[in-house]
């Protein structure tokens, strides 16, 4: 009998530049309210990958942007209505350079949006999860930590 709990470990990045935020548009897998939803660049941690490296990889794959991580926003835990629990490590980042125009197959487009537009998307139930707006609110409130708060003893350097 296996009673162990195995949450999905994910990463996300709040990427801001000149008052706008980088979000990716993806198909609404539940198609409850709209044909697409919006999320920060995010995804699953891969085997033998550090959290910081995963955040940079996901941002590049989903948005085409190379980023520099500037802070750790925190661990966000969310359980979906289907009972899947995600532990999402969230970073603050700044964009450096657009590297790719070809995005992951499950990404429709990457958009730079102001906060008011993102709030409207929340009202329209077009954000992928409640974490999207909460991460932005926390970033805007300055609730972040230095990257050194992450201690990864499985490798000689983080990320």
Are 64 and 110 contacting, i.e. CB atoms less than 8 angstroms apart? yes
Examine the pLDDT at 69 and tell me if it is beyond 70.
yes
- Taking residues 11-35, what's their average pLDDT? 89
Q: How far apart are CA 114 and CA 111, in angstroms?
A: 10
Examine the pLDDT at 159 and tell me if it is beyond 60.
no
Segment 138-153, tens digit of pLDDT: 999 999 999 999 998 8
- Taking residues 104-113, what's their average pLDDT? 96
Nearest to 23 by CA among 142, 107, 147: 107
Segment 113-141, tens digit of pLDDT: 999 999 999 999 999 999 999 999 999 99
- Percent of the chain residues topping a pLDDT of 90: 83
Q: How far apart are CA 41 and CA 55, in angstroms?
A: 8
Examine the pLDDT at 32 and tell me if it is beyond 80.
no
pTM of the model: 0.91
Segment 88-100, tens digit of pLDDT: 999 999 999 999 8
In order of start, what are the domains of the chain with their CATH numbers? 8-149 (3.90.79.10)
Going by pLDDT thresholds of 50, 70 and 90, the confidence category of residue 77 is very high
Examine the pLDDT at 76 and tell me if it is beyond 70.
yes
Examine the pLDDT at 158 and tell me if it is beyond 50.
no
Are 24 and 107 contacting, i.e. CB atoms less than 8 angstroms apart? yes
């Amino acid at each position: 009998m296996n009673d162990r709990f195995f949450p999905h470990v994910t990463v996300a990045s709040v990427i801001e530049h000149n008052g706008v935020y980088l979000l990716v548009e993806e198909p609404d897998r539940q198609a409850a309210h709209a044909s697409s939803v919006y999320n920060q660049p995010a995804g699953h941690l891969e085997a033998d990958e550090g959290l910081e490296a995963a955040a940079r990889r996901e941002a590049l794959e989903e948005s085409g942007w190379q980023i520099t991580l500037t802070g750790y926003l925190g661990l966000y835990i969310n359980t979906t209505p289907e009972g899947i629990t995600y532990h999402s490590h969230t970073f603050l980042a700044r964009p450096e350079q657009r590297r790719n125009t070809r995005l992951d197959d499950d990404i429709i487009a990457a958009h730079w949006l102001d906060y008011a537009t993102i709030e409207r998307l929340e009202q329209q139930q077009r954000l992928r999860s409640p974490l999207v707006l909460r991460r932005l609110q926390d970033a805007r409130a300055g609730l972040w930590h230095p990257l050194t708060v992450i201690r990864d003893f499985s490798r000689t350097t983080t990320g």
